[in-house]
Amino acid sequence: MGTEPSPKIVIVDENPVRAAILEDGLREAGFSRVEHIREMQNLLARIYALDPDVIVIDLENPSRDVLEQMFQVSRAVRRPIAMFVDQSDTDSIRESVDAGVSAYIVDGLKKERMRAILDLCISRFNAFSKLQDELERTKSALEDRKIIDRAKGMLMKLKGLSEEEAYVLLRSTAMREKKKIGDIAQSIITAAELLK
Amino acid sequence: MTAHSLRIGFIPLIDAASTIIAADKGFAAAEGLEIDLVREVSWSNVRDKLNLGLFDAAHILAPVAIASSLGLGHIKVPIVAPFTLNMNGNAITVSPGLYAEIVREIDGTARDPLTTARALARVCAARRNRAMEPVTLGMTFPYSTHNYQLRFWMAAGGVDPDEDVRLVVLPPPYMVDSLASGQVDGFCVGAPWNAVAVDRGIGWILHFGPDILKRAAEKVLAVRQQWAEANPDVLSRLIRAHRAAADFIDDAGNHDEVAAILARPDRVNADAQIIKAVLAGRLVMAKGGSPREQRDYMLFGRDAADRPDPSQATWLYAQMVRWGQTTATPDGLRAAQATFRPDLYDAAIGTTTVARSSIGAFVGPAIEGDDIAAYLAAFPAFAKRA
């Protein structure tokens, strides 16, 4: 890190888990001065009180437009900031938009240091999305298993099949109709309810 | 024919109606288009995703399209607007507290914007003399019609928007709560939020947008210039689908259906009755009061409102210059005007004759041709206070 003081980074994010993941990453990388704003009320006043060098905000946050006001030179704005973009470097914007994060830089910070911070934000945001996807997948897999078990039970009872045979029937039907086994199971349950 | 698929970003506001109705009511499908609507949370997101090509088109503030073409506040990406989604639709709403302060200082009727602006100037002075917090007003974005309409109004009464009041950006869905919590004393925003504030009994509508400017371009359908050049046929179809949707919205017989579609949670997510009142231009100004009717409260296709008018871009550019967001240059003015593309509209619709109409501001001269300097000279600059 050299002798330069660590820039002060403010994370604006209503999601505490994602903010914690990002904060940890920044601290591990040697950025020791990291603050987190969760409350969007009076956002500008909070930011001014912290007086950061860099502001990181998630793109799902409507308050992103509030930050854009800080580009304007007016009495309300003490230190003008800019979004971290390079006219020549649309890749960095695309990467950050894809990851769902945007970074604003307060004048004075070196471009290379900013790039390092942005890259870290992008990778941590992507890591968070992956985590969330996995959680969703696990949840829906559990849901599927419950549905498949119910449908299997119905098939066993109605058609006098063994558990193994009921499962094979579900699977082969799913393959033939090019559908997910969970969807076939759900349609059996729906049909059974309609025919009750 | 396989449908051409388009991703279009929008902000949940009633003035996205033409795009939403084009997508949901089959007008896009009739032109062989399949629209995937993406609901966004900020103008910054809509702008960035349009600029990066993640959106093919977008519902966007007219001045954001111009700012993007000029490279103001962000990277420069030439944007074109081949269709004006609406004119007007904004209102200025104040808290009951600020309304009472204005009425205490007023010399005339609160219906007249010049009278209220002068009263606001006295409110600001009174607050300053008593060392009170300045009046704080919300608007939606630095490059927004709301910012310019608020500034235009108050400056006419002698209020310096950069010194005498505090102007803050707030996302539209936060406006009403911020007024309720006292974080702001008033705001200028689009529909339905003024009506929502009145309905909750926490805001009084002071002025409809047309009280300030009779005809003001509000949101545009925006695409990248490069995309427009690469996809002329698709663009023409998209314009025609919007034109058909605007006609549908303008027919009062369809207002129930339009309101029901817009009210859906994945669209504007607002009360259908309030949406209907906005479409009809019949809004209650204060809770319990009788509605005020304004035929031009929000214009979609009616009176050629949907045909892009470069003189609207000239006016918006002049406001950017007036408030120090950019320095006037002939190239800048041309780039701003070139954002509005009546030629693309005409090519798609087959329009030939056009009735030009003026913006009709409540004070000050109209802009003669491209003479922004002469226009701005009519508005004295504010002296910097020590």
For range A81-91, the mean pLDDT: 60
Strand intervals (E) in chain B: 4-10, 33-39, 57-61, 79-84, 87-88, 91-94, 135-139, 165-169, 186-189, 204-208, 219-224, 282-284, 291-293, 298-299
Residues of A in contact with B43 (CB under 8 A): 65, 68
The pLDDT tens digits for A102-154 are 888 876 677 778 888 888 888 898 888 888 888 888 888 888 899 999 999 99
Query: What CA–CA distance (Å, rounded) separates A52 from A33?
Result: 9
> pLDDT band for position A88 (50/70/90)?
low
Least CB–CB distance from B171: residue in A44, A62, A85: A62
Residue range B4-89+217-280+298-373 in CATH 3.40.50.720:
no
The pLDDT, as a whole number, for residue A77 is 53
Question: How sure is the predictor about B386, in pLDDT bands with cuts at 50, 70 and 90?
Answer: very low
Comparing CA positions, the residue from B75, B74, B130 lying closest to residue B101 is B130
Chain B residues close to A59, C-beta within 8 Å: 41-42, 45
| CB distance A83 to B74 below 8 Å | yes
What's CA A34's distance to the chain center, in Å? Answer: 20
Domain map of chain B by residue range?
A: 4-89+217-280+298-373, 91-212
Residues paired with B4 in a beta bridge: B33
What is chain A's length?
196
The residue type at B290: S
Q: Of B265, B129, B124, B116, nearest to B188 (Cα)?
A: B116
* Dihedrals phi, psi of A89, to nearest 5 degrees: -125, 70
Contact indicator for B107, B119 with CB cutoff of 8 Å: yes
Q: For residue B286, what are its two tokens? A: 């204060």
Which residue among B52, B163, B324 sits closest to A97, beta carbon to beta carbon? Answer: B52
Place A21 in a pLDDT band, splitting at 50, 70 and 90.
very high
Pairwise CB contact (< 8 Å): A97 & B49:
yes
Say if the ipTM goes beyond 0.85.
yes
Which tens digits make up the pLDDT trace of B22-76?
999 999 999 999 999 999 999 999 999 999 999 999 999 999 999 999 999 878 8
What are the residues whose beta carbons fall under 8 Å from the beta carbon of A19, sequence distance 6 or more?
A11, A13, A36, A38
Interface contact B68, partner A, CB < 8 A: no
Is the pLDDT score of A34 beyond 80?
Answer: yes
Contact residues on chain B for A41, CB-CB shorter than 8 A: 181, 183
Contact A61 B43 (CB under 8 A): no
Residue among B41, B43, B166 whose CB faces A76 most closely: B166
Whether residue B10 has pLDDT greater than 60: yes
Mean pLDDT score, B6-30: 97
CA angle B110, B216, B358 (to 5 degrees): 100
Residues B174-190, buried b or exposed e (16+ Cβ, 10 A)? bbbebbeeebbbbbbbb
Q: Has domain B91-212 been given CATH number 3.40.190.10?
A: yes
Do B91-212 and B4-89+217-280+298-373 fall under one CATH topology? yes
Contact B283, B194 (CB under 8 A): yes
d(CA B197, CA B93): 8
CA angle B287/B288/B294 to nearest 5° reads 75
Region class of B203: left (phi > 0), else alpha (psi between -120 and 50), else beta: beta
Cβ–Cβ < 8 Å for B267, B20: yes
Q: Cβ contact (<8 Å) for A85 and B324?
A: no
Flag if A68 and B73 touch (Cβ within 8 Å).
yes
CA pair distance A133, B330, nearest whole angstrom: 51
User: Mean pLDDT for chain B?
Assistant: 95
- Report all structural domains of chain A as residue ranges with CATH numbers, in order of start: 9-133 (3.40.190), 137-194 (1.10.10.10)
Chain A interface residues facing chain B, Cβ-Cβ under 8 Å?
Answer: 40-42, 44, 59-69, 71-76, 83, 85, 87, 90, 93-94, 97, 102
- From first CA to last CA, the distance across chain B in angstroms is 68
Q: Which of A59, A61, A68 sits opposite B141 (nearest CB)?
A: A68
